[in-house]
Each structure stands twice: as C-alpha cells, then as structure tokens.
Amino acid sequence: MRKLAAQLAAERGWPEDWLNDAAKGYLVGVSKGEVLISVPGLTARAPAVAQLLAMKLSAWRDDVDIADARRLLRELAVSSLDREALWQSVEPYLVPGDELTAQYAFQDLWEALYGDH
C-alpha cells in the first residue's frame, strides 16, 4: 500500500506523506468520492466533500481545521445555499459524540459566510 501511495504522490505532485492514517478516527461511513487509484483488487476513493467537512467539524482542533472547513463549506454551498440541506448531507458522517460540537461549528461558519440565510 505504501508503494502505491508513493506512486500516486509522485504522479499527482502530492507530498509523500499524503496518506495519513491519523484521520481514520474521524472517518465515519463510506462516501462515493473521486476514485484516486484503481488497480486489480483495490480501489481507493477520496471522501466526498460532505464527508471531509464532517471530519473537520468533528475534529475542530485548530485554525487549520477551521480554514479547511470554511473552504469545504464554500465548495458545498456552490450547489445550494440551503443550510438545512447542506447540514443533512454532512450529518451522517459525524463522529459519534461530536455531533453537538460539529453542529455549533457548522452554524458559526455558516453565519460568518452567509449570515442568517
């Protein structure tokens, strides 16, 4: 797996340590993100944007998480400015026990970006 990860990093110009297993604690469920690599016996997908946002909202550790979450929320909101619908797309991927923190973080980001819409 590490050899394939290094090959993918070289092909896409990513850092060698792009495949970070520390994120696994924030990965809930399976989404249908972009296929990163597909070889016989293995298909690796990126998480969907809603799942990435849920991971950042669940972690909510520092300015990096906040900046990443802001960018991801903007990306999701391109298709719709329906706050409730966007929240519902994120909610299934939240880490159990972190739902309330994530909901407050989502509301704060939404209001900072879009007001009370």
Q: Looking at the structure, tell me whether residues 64 and 24 fall in a common domain.
A: no
* CA–CA gap between residue 53 and residue 3 (Å, rounded): 28
Q: Looking at the structure, tell me whether residues 31 and 84 fall in a common domain.
A: no
Hey, which bits of 12-101 come out as E strands? Answer: 35-39, 42-45
Q: Looking at the structure, tell me whether residues 104 and 65 fall in a common domain.
A: yes
Q: How far is residue 15 from each of residues 1, 25, 67, measured CA to CA in Å?
A: 16, 21, 20
Q: Looking at the structure, tell me whether residues 109 and 54 fall in a common domain.
A: yes
Please, which residues bridge with residue 43 across strands?
A: 38
Q: Looking at the structure, tell me whether residues 77 and 110 fall in a common domain.
A: yes
Domain boundaries, position 88: 49-114
Q: Looking at the structure, tell me whether residues 60 and 102 fall in a common domain.
A: yes
Q: Looking at the structure, tell me whether residues 76 and 93 fall in a common domain.
A: yes
- The pLDDT score that the predictor gives to residue 117 is 65
Q: What are the pLDDT digits (tens) for 20-60? A: 777 777 777 777 788 888 889 888 888 899 999 999 999 88
- The pLDDT score that the predictor gives to residue 92 is 93
- Domain tally, the chain: 2
